[in-house]
Chain A
Amino acid sequence: MTPTMTTAARLAGLPAGLDLAAADGEALHPEAAAESPLSIRGLTVSYGEKPAVFSVDATFPDGALSAIIGPNGAGKSTLLKAALGIIPRLSGEVSVFGRPIDAARARIAYVPQRASVDWDFPTSVLDVVSMGLYRRLGLLRRMRSEERAHALACLERVGMTDFADRQIGQLSGGQQQRVFLARALAQGADLYLLDEPFAGVDAATERAIIEVLKSLRAEGRAVVCVHHDLSTVESYFDHVFLINVRRIAEGPVASTFTAGNLQATYGGRLAAGHIEQLRLGGGTA
């Protein structure tokens, strides 16, 4: 949050992660260094004997929209869930803004796949959004009026204010996805991790979601999406991470989202014609 400090540290010729301010015991957090919002080292996940994600390194940039891309079963969602500790990992380290993930959970917002929950659950839209306030409210404190107003403001950002009192099962798929995004907004995080946010939503919802994600980027937050629609990668994202069990490539969209890298990621599953339709420049990376 205070990039100047890092600059100071760099000027002083100190190694990364070792700040003078922190050494002085000032109230500045070490994670304020310009560390990557999400850095993954040697992550391996296995269902049974076959690895789903194998020894993956990834570094996502701050203040940018990043996409995790790969074919079905390539381990996109698995990578995200294992990084968050939702599913167990065999090995690997994950740091968030330079700190171990468990020390940085307050700075992370997570949007699971819509199909991962039971929408028949007896709860209202506003109730789901206020689940994003849990870390602030704790076990027993009642929601104050300003916290309620904050939850309503988050619903407003996704255009769902009118549905605040609806039971969540009475929403369309796109509306449910927006409610999940509103809950993540209520978390007030610096890093947003979204699992297939555009899957099975209507066009209006897709536009609404990408507008919100772009406004988060404008506020300097980092956004990482598991994404499956290759045709929107260039218009939505700044950074891509290509995965097929192993890391294939990562970097800025312009230089990394190339026909060659896609061929390497999808293998025979993506016909040359599809890649042609994307009108990508450049050959192999």
Chain B
Amino acid sequence: MDKIDRAALELREMDELAAMKSPVHFMHPITKLIITISYILTVVSYGKYDLSGLLIMALYPLFLFSLSGISMGICFRKMRVVLPLVCAVGLFNPFFDRTPLFSFGGIVISGGVVSMITLMLKGVLCLQASFLLAATTSMDSLCAALRRLHVPMLMVTLLLLTYRYVSVMVQEVSIMTTAYKLRAPGQRGIHISAWGSFLGQLLLRSMDRAEELYASMQLRGFDGSFRYAEGKKAGFPDYLWAVLLPIVFLLLRKYNLAELTGRLLMSAGS
């Protein structure tokens, strides 16, 4: 299987993950969406030196991974392309911010190092939360949830069709690269002279396919509403989680639990 086929398969694997059964999967999509957005906003709001406070936030994805039955390895494997970019964001901070912040075992740690780790951690946590949302909720349910939250229909439909279009495009790329490779033995990749026509053909072919797919949706009554994706109604536990978890995130943001625990232990020790 070549890289493109593998990419297509990985994309479809998200649907398989979303079809699993677990308490997280059964949670109402709107609840998950609200929790994820509030989690991401909380994580992003941490100060650049607030590493100890941020570490506590790592408990949420850990808890969700174990509850949903999805392995963290899958998450890292699927995000292997994005993760280096996320980690690269704060890479130069140690060079610009050399203010000593604290020393650890005689080694002085500068503000730049702490802010770099904080930034990387923020990125990883946000990615994990987004992955967990996508891996426990089908795209259609997610779109239905967005519509319920009054996100404009145009945006939601665009999101759904983009998702469908990506897989159609990947399929077309796979077919075209196979056809190319078979007639260009021993050649690595696609020769630069063929890029123009390759991309043009890809655009035309995938547009045709996307149009056909949209026609198929229209012919079965799709009019931009997501009646078909609205599953069970939100129950009391869904409302409870949607309110409780954002409050917990806010409290964790306001009170540094790690610091408080440390102080408590220190005062108990003295």
Specify whether A and B are partners: no
Taking Cβ atoms with an 8 Å cutoff, the residues of B that contact A are none
